[in-house]
Amino acid sequence: MRRGARLGVDVGDVRIGLARCDPSGLIATPLETVRRGAGDLQRIHVLAGEEEAVEVVVGLPRSLSGGEGPAAAKVRVFAGRLARRLAPLPVRLVDERLSTVSAEAVLREQGRKGAKRRAVVDQAAAVVILQNALDAERGTGRAPGELVVADGGAGPNEGVGRPGE
Please state, for a pLDDT cut of 90, what percent of the chain lies above it: 67
Task: Report which of residues 106 and 58 the model is more confident about.
Answer: 58
Task: Report which of residues 29 and 116 the model is more confident about.
Answer: 29
Say if residue 111's pLDDT is above 80: no
In a domain, 154, yes or no: no
Between the two ends of the chain, the Cα-to-Cα distance in Å is 10
Confidence at residue 143, expressed as pLDDT on a 0 to 100 scale: 94
Average confidence (pLDDT) over 122-126: 90
Q: Pairing mode, if any, of strands 53-60 and 15-21?
A: unpaired
Say if residue 108's pLDDT is above 70: no
Confidence at residue 159, expressed as pLDDT on a 0 to 100 scale: 37
Confidence at residue 62, expressed as pLDDT on a 0 to 100 scale: 87
Confidence at residue 130, expressed as pLDDT on a 0 to 100 scale: 97
**Residue 15: helix, strand or coil by DSSP?**
strand
In a domain, 162, yes or no: no
In a domain, 151, yes or no: no
Phi, psi of 149 (to 5 degrees): -90, 145
Confidence at residue 158, expressed as pLDDT on a 0 to 100 scale: 34
In a domain, 163, yes or no: no
Say if residue 15's pLDDT is above 60: yes
Range of the domain at 71: 5-141
Confidence at residue 65, expressed as pLDDT on a 0 to 100 scale: 77
In a domain, 158, yes or no: no
Q: Which amino acid is at 34?
A: V
In a domain, 156, yes or no: no
In a domain, 94, yes or no: yes
Q: How far apart are CA 19 and CA 47, in angstroms?
A: 10
**Backbone region of residue 114 per phi and psi (left: phi > 0; alpha: psi in -120 to 50; beta: other values):** left
Phi, psi of 75 (to 5 degrees): -70, -40
**Backbone region of residue 37 per phi and psi (left: phi > 0; alpha: psi in -120 to 50; beta: other values):** left
pTM (two decimals): 0.82
Query: Which residues face 154 on adjacent strands?
Result: 148
**What pLDDT band is residue 156 in, cutting at 50, 70 and 90?**
very low
Q: What is the CATH number of the domain that holds 117?
A: 3.30.420.140
pLDDT one-digit tens code per residue, 32-79: 999 999 999 999 999 999 999 999 999 999 877 778 889 999 999 999
In the chain, the number of structural domains is 1
Mean pLDDT (the chain) is 85
Q: Which amino acid is at 143?
A: A
In a domain, 17, yes or no: yes
